[in-house]
Structure 1
Amino acid sequence: MKKVFKLEELGCANCASKMEREISKLADVSNASVNFMTQKLTLESDQEVSEDTVKAIEKIIKKIEPHCRLKV
């Protein structure tokens, strides 16, 4: 299953790369891609993305770039 999220105020391509690496490590995520130019996070998973996974993603984003927000 593929899910796309909008990232608001993503200000750095290096931070986008760090987010991509960390989000890819999550158990429910088979692949994660952060596109700095379009400000989008694309997730691939074998199942529906759970609320716990979304919360974990938000935590990763805040740790790397505190002012960036995930639009669900």
Structure 2
Amino acid sequence: MKKKYRCEVDCANCAAKIEDAMRQVDGVQSVKINFLMQKLTFEAEESRFEALLQEAIQAGKRVEADFSVEL
């Protein structure tokens, strides 16, 4: 399952670090953050999508505390 969300990221370098952290979560298939558009595209297993999304967001916040996602 793939969904797009509005997110808040301070810089392009931060977005890259957050993407890397989110991809490390087991079950996440792909993550793309468009810094200019402030958009997160998240793809993960459909059966655990919401739990994986929350886990990935927390992984992103551990790297960059100001990172946020509008669900």
Structure 1 length-normalised TM: 0.79
Which ranges in structure 2 are unaligned for 5 or more consecutive residues? none
Q: Detail structure 1 runs of 4+ shifted over 4 Å in the superposition.
A: none
- Tell me which residue corresponds to 2:29: 30
Higher helix share: 2
How many positions carry a matched residue from both structures?
Answer: 70
Which ranges in structure 1 are unaligned for 5 or more consecutive residues? none
- Tell me which residue corresponds to 1:18: 17
- Tell me which residue corresponds to 2:44: 45
Q: Distance in 2 between matches of 1:58 and 1:70?
A: 8
Structure 2 length-normalised TM: 0.80
Same amino acid, percent of matched pairs = 30
